[in-house]
Every structure is written in structure tokens, then in C-alpha cells.
Amino acid sequence: MIKPHGSDKLNPLFVDDAAKNKALVKEAKTLDSIVVSSATAANAVMMGAGYFNPLTAYMSKADALSVATDMKTTSGLFWPTPVLNLVKDSAAIKAGDRIALRDPNVDGNPVIAVMNVDAVETFSDDEIKLISEKIYAPAAGEDHPGVNAFIEQGNICLSGPIQVLNFSYFQTEFPDTFRTAVEIRNDIAERGWEKVVAFQTRNPMHLAHEELCHMAMKRLACDGLVIHMLLGKLKPGDIPAPVRDASIRKMVELYFPQNSAIVTGYGFDMLYAGPREAVLHAVFRQNMGATHFIIGRDHAGVGDHYGPFDAQTIFEKDVPAGALAIEIFNADHTAYSKKLDKVVMMCEAPDHKKEDFILLSGTKVREMLGNGEAPPKEFSRPEVAKILIDYYQGLSVNS
């Protein structure tokens, strides 16, 4: 099986020994504590689950700036985005303290991790701007949800190692879907899969997405597919995870050979960082055991902040040779061809004009679903459309 990033085996930070976990929970009650940001909690979940291997700590200011400018830590580890614990007010916290980190996303703010604070440092406004520009590359003068969420956390950086006590709300709210990198690796090994392609989604999968997965599996001669959906915070208007989960599971059940695809999810907040986030996605897909990863148009993008293929070209231009073991399957926009009577990558149909494809905007699809109207069968499977129609009509009833 493919090696994890940066080490020979996964080093998940979740304390899985029940006695040790219980002891830490008890100790946490005696420690000073802070309620962290949703992004910080999500970083803890990803480190706890092994997805952010080989990281063992929240990054220091120096590491964050090095990652932003050079895509590597000060020790030379290849890494595409800072993994931080940012706060607005450090109060009485100082280097050498041991503190409890409380979860902002669960009622009662239970402790999600215990942290040894190595340093308390402050980013200047210019440094926050530098990180924003390098990681998110916002278009000049345009609002960017990822930048807004990053700045909102604060500019005081608490760095140091953590011990993770739980997986926030992900394990309880998505018991059939949330899986750690360790669990997915074990599942892949048990199935005997050697060549595995991963597909990232934060949306329901329509026919074009389904066919893209089939294409990748066939062209790469893969043993299996892992559909890996984001279960964390999205931007307003995105379809919630339970609805996406139900629609994707129905698609796999009906239209994929038995035991050829795993439907799973991970606990992280969407960054909307385009190319940099695509590289981060590749890192943690390697950690979960995938040998290949599908990168399509506008991967992890938002608005018009990135070019349609920036998330592909970053692997060619900026990721050093040998930095990652996982291989990228580059995909163009896929759509149903009226001429060929099948879904194709648009770049592989040079004789086609726009009107030769069935193309629907997201706004149009939402409008149709909200009116109880299924998109054409060439766009969406009827069983998937039914689940989405029920969701949108529920919104109109409750509005």
C-alpha cells in the first residue's frame, strides 16, 4: 500500500487507549481552557484522524509563514497550507502552559484536545495579508469566504503538540460516513485493493460526476474508488452533508458494481483555497491510502478567484518532484454529449459546440429542484434528483 506522507506509517493524534483518554479528560478539567475557532477544531480532528500526517502540532509562526511562501515547514517538510490555532486574545496563556481546547461546534463546548503550548506569537497585519495572498490568492477587490474566515480567527498564534480526545460532532452526527484515515486504510487493505482513486466532493454527485469516477477507474485500472465528502462547514447556500450523503449513497447503490466504491467523509471546514487546497486534498488522500486523486475544473474554488485549471497546474509548476507519492488524474469539465449520447470530458470532444452538450447552471438546477422538477436524465439520476427535490421543497415549506 502507498506510504503516508512524510513517514513510514500513520501517526494519528487521537488517544485511542480508553484509560489514557479518560485520564486526559479528567486532567482537562483542571487545566485552563479556551474555546477555539471552528477551523482550529477541524485541524485537531484532521490531526487526530491521521489525515494531516506527519504533523503532531499546531504550527508556529515561522512554520506558517514558510508554508505560505515556500510550501514547506522550516524543517523542510512539504506542506501546502498552514495548520494553526489562532485566537483573538491569548489572555494569560504563555509558553510552557498545558491547556484544554474546547470545541465551538458542540453544545457545552467539551474539550476536543489537550495542548502543550510551545509558543505564543502574534502575526502582524502584513503577515496576515501575506498568508491570505499566498494561500487564498483572492482576486483584487473581491470578497473571499476563505480569507474572511481566516482573518476572523484572530492573529495570535498558539503553537505546540496536541492529544486529541474526540472527533467533534463528526463521529456522532455521521456515524455511517465519517471515517479516519486509519479506518479507510484498513478498509482498503481488507478489500485487497492496490490501486485506489479518490474523489473529493462538497456537493451532490450528478451524472457527470458519476461518469467521471467511472472514467478514472477504467483508465487507471483501479481496484476501487473512495468517494470522500467534506462533512464540515461550508458557505451559506451549500447543500448540507446529510442530504449529500443520502444522494451519493443512492447513486453508488444503483449505478456502481458491488464492492467497487466506498462512500466516506472527513471532518474539516472548507477553505475555498483553490490550488493550495487541492494540494492539501492530495496530501490527506495519500494518507488515507489512495494512490490516485481526481482533480477537475475549479477544484476547491469559489467565485472567479482562480482559473479553471489552476488546481491542476499547481502540481506541475509548484509541487516539487517526489514531494508526494499520490498521482493526480486531471479531468476537464464533464457533460452529456447529445452527439455521442454519453457523458464525455468536454476537452475530448473538440468537434462539439456548446449547444451539443446538456449544460445547466447551479442556479437553474436549484430552481428546478425547488419547483419539484427533476433535471433531465442526462444531467442527474432520477433517484438522486428525488432526494434533492425533497430537500429543496422542505426548505420552501419551512421558509
Residues carrying an active site annotation: 202-203
Residue 366 to residue 60: CA distance in whole angstroms: 43
DSSP state letters, 62-79: HHHHHHHHHSB-TT--B-
Residue 12 to residue 50: CA distance in whole angstroms: 4
Per-residue cell: 103: 470545541
Task: Please count the CA atoms within 13 angstroms of the CA of 176 that sit on its side-chain side.
Answer: 7
Q: Which residues contact 242 (CB under 8 A, 6 or more apart)?
A: 174
Q: With contact defined as beta carbons under 8 Å apart, do 251 and 205 qualify?
A: yes
Residue 74 to residue 9: CA distance in whole angstroms: 22
Residue 111 to residue 56: CA distance in whole angstroms: 18
Q: With contact defined as beta carbons under 8 Å apart, do 262 and 248 qualify?
A: no
Cis omega (within 30 of 0) for bond into 242: no
